[in-house]
């Protein structure tokens, strides 16, 4: 986790249990787009993902997955399992500050970093991290 906080990831929320489901509590960056986010428990990076949607909308998918949203279904189940064991599941995020450019083109920071972070950190919930 230190590698993520060293590059600017910060805690923006957590998951809680609510009547058989999970509830999102976001305290920062909820309306930001182009976000790289991570699910963390006991200082272990469990999952790293990116979104071009507002962060709260992307997290809503984990909270209420549709029948064909396999990543969301899996994430929802894994988050519920950890919370049921009394573990905290926190959300850390890194927002795109808009400063990265290649010539006149803006580079999406989340898209540029996700693969490298997953390859290096190997979060156990990421398919490629196994």
**What is the reported pTM?**
0.90
Q: Give 11-65 pLDDT, tens digit per residue.
A: 999 999 998 889 999 999 999 998 999 999 999 999 999 999 999 999 999 999 9
Which of these, 84, 94, 68, 117, lies nearest to 15 by C-alpha position?
84
Q: What are phi and psi of 13, to 5 degrees?
A: 175, -170
* Highest CATH level, class, for 2-129: alpha beta
pLDDT confidence of residue 86? 94
Q: Using only C-alpha atoms, what is the Rg of the chain?
A: 14
């Amino acid at each position: 986790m230190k590698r993520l906080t060293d590059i600017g990831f910060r805690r923006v929320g957590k998951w809680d249990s609510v009547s058989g489901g999970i509830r999102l509590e976001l305290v920062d960056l909820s309306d930001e787009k182009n976000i790289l986010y991570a699910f963390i428990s006991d200082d272990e990076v469990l999952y790293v993902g990116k979104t071009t949607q507002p962060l709260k909308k992307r997290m809503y998918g984990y909270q209420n997955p549709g029948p064909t949203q396999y990543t969301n279904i899996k994430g929802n189940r894994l988050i519920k399992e950890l919370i049921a064991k009394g573990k905290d599941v926190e959300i850390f995020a890194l927002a795109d500050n808009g400063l990265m450019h290649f010539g006149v083109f803006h580079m999406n920071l989340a898209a540029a970093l996700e693969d490298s972070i997953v390859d290096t950190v190997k979060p156990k919930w990421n398919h490629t991290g196994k």
